[in-house]
Structure 1
């Protein structure tokens, strides 16, 4: 069967896509939706393919399970700035749609494929690493997927998808990624005034104002107890060292960028409360090595926010983790190695940011909670 590239189809019609069937008169042409590929990258990551079953398929690659509007769409190029020494994980996904109906057709297309692979080759810099285990993004409509790992040293990479069809055809799609290093700006308690909540808040505000959006901002906190609420208004790292927050922390909505991950990282901080909310986020927030105790709600994600909990302890709170976010840029869909002890409710899930998403708990322990999971929609999976 024939592999019909975007350029080939474009030559067959004016004002839309058309494919003439074998022996069909012009009146019976199948008219396809117009492909609006604005650049060469998006043209190279998609194609039309007439399968051995006689159906016409639209096959394309992307870098995510779904677009911001929840729809899958071709994506042939992405760029990202990554902090030195850090890794960025992300999905590579491939889709098959019925070109006539516009519906996902992976179940019909997959039996036509004998084998497939996806590779990364460095045109400049180091090659991205492809995680060879299957990544399951089927809930988001993907037919095939892999996780891949990049660093700032990866430079420019070409991602190549190769489908070997049972009838001997080969389908090839390509994507391009470019990576660079994010500049680092550090604020250390040895050099900055962080002795009071007022002083620390002034520093956090100044850091948001005087740094560039692409900067990696890290604030190294002292062994001080802060008894007033603190607010973070840009993506940054907050690294504690004997730091205690009794007034709580609020992550305000963050400005997203197309070429960098946006996330607030909070590490090694003790949240010790007497009621109220310990950590409230309206932006993606990664929390690691922290302890929460004594709060009505220890950690809460609202619209625009998400909490990725790693190696934390939630002890003696009304609700330990309250997830009520209908939209957010995710910094991970897993909760790993966290302990939930003697809480009223350990994890309450009201909404998750993506419709098809589940919350996966890996190596999390529960002891003495009145309710471990308040999850009426069945969105939590314990691994």
Structure 2
């Protein structure tokens, strides 16, 4: 089929690509495409993928839960930017972490101490316990690395303890002189998915014990006993434990213990007479371990104190009769009386201490009778509940004068009708 030239109108063969008459091109030319190398395409795609991956990875790293695992303390930044110092300690110092502790033990001793969780605002140094705990989903504690211990250390699960109100949480640790070194691990699971692990190592260390018996040392009179106490205070360094085993005699006059703790154990002779003090025993040694007095009688003449103590003190199976005050606790100490008798005193037990440390909340199985005031609570360290379970109050003018409004548990106490 013939076609005509679009330029001059001449007849052209069907397959003609130019006109022989006017010498012009019959078909419209197309611009040639510039080829793009395959390598450049691949590099472009790869670059896009790298950028997308980097953005996604950064986002994932920013948002993924974090795990902190340190000894003693962790510095933790919350989602709102607040920086917290999260630390473990065993004493009242809320700013100094204690990643390692050596605890002195007697070979046959049983012990309990707290591991305390403190939270501080790293910027201001203020107590941040409450704000931080609102971010915590759960908290747990466990001891590890003590598979071969003959007496494994045991811990309670973290909880608030009213006896140690400055700590956010505490775990109570129980161990003996036979316990071997162990590692305590606290685990805090945060609500945002983060995990905080805080570790402490505990190493029980056996301490020397020295026992003093009347067969070996003079202690029949108060002069003998005071001289022996004074000599031991000079010669026996801490933390050696000193146990005084006293004969069943009556000591006239006052005894002063002021430089180091003593454990004092009384005895009973064949006719039933016990070790007895008729003068005040003054206990004033500062920052000492608990002093234990056991199986002793304190018999007064209507004035003074049976025991006057500003040191940590516990009386067990002792009696206090006819004193102005049977036991006076003052200063910053914590004092317990357990299974003791208070009879005929103006005040049986007077607690007037402003300390911050509690070692035992039980005041059980005491018998208070014929006292003006059986128990006078003027000031008591912390707001721990004092538990008088098994204690009996009989024929006292006033059973308990709770001037400081200390929390008390009297649910298992007995109050007799006054005669």
TM-score if structure 2 supplies the norm length? 0.73
After superposition, the C-alpha distances for 1:110-140 in whole angstroms (9 at most, x for unaligned) are 3432322111224685531113484624861
- 1:13 corresponds in structure 2 to none
Q: Check if 1:301 corresponds to 2:301.
A: no
Asked if 2 retains the 8 angstrom alpha-carbon contact of 1:274 and 1:294, the reply is: yes
Note if 1:274 corresponds to 2:301: yes
Q: Give the one of 281, 288, 304 matched to 1:249.
A: 281
- Where structure 1 has 5 or more consecutive residues not aligned to the other structure, the ranges are 7-42, 257-261
Task: Name the counterpart of 2:74.
Answer: 47
Distance between the aligned counterparts of 1:117 and 1:5, measured in 2? 15
Structure 2 residue aligned with 1:366: 393
**Is 1:168 matched up with 2:193?**
yes
Structure-to-structure mapping, 1:1-383, within 5 angstroms: 3=66, 44-52=71-79, 55-64=82-91, 66-67=92-93, 71=94, 73-122=96-145, 125=149, 126-132=151-157, 134=159, 136-137=161-162, 140-233=165-258, 234-241=260-267, 242-254=274-286, 256=288, 262-275=289-302, 276-327=304-355, 330-352=358-380, 354=381, 356-358=382-384, 360-363=386-389, 364-383=391-410
SS of equivalent to 1:104: coil
Paired residues of 2:244 and 2:264 also in contact (CA < 8 A): yes
Q: Structure 2: any 5+ residue segments left out of the alignment?
A: 1-62, 268-273, 411-419
Contact preservation (8 Å) 1:349, 1:374: yes
Moved more, 336-345 or 270-279: 336-345
CA distance in 2, matches of 1:305, 1:145: 21
Determine the C-alpha separation between the residues in 1 that align with 2:377 and 2:346: 14
Which protein has the bigger strand share? 1
Bigger CA drift: 291-300 or 184-193?
184-193
Residues 296, 369 of structure 1: alpha-carbon distance in 2 compared, 3 angstrom cutoff: same
Q: Give the whole-Å Cα distance in 2 for the aligned partners of 1:100 and 1:252.
A: 40
Q: How many Å separate the matches in 2 of 1:253 and 1:304? A: 12
Figure out how many residues of one structure are paired with residues of the other and give that number: 336
Where relative contact order (Cα < 8 A, 6+ residues apart) is larger, the structure is 1
Check whether the contact 2:163–2:384 (CA below 8 A) recurs between aligned residues.
Answer: no
TM-score under structure 1 normalisation? Answer: 0.79
RMSD between aligned alpha carbons?
2.6
Tell whether the 8 Å contact from 1:290 to 1:311 is kept in structure 2 after alignment.
Answer: yes
CA pair 219-75 structure 1, distance change in 2 beyond 3 A: same
Shift of 1:358: 3.3
SS at match of 2:295: strand
2-structure distance, mates of 1:106, 1:200: 49
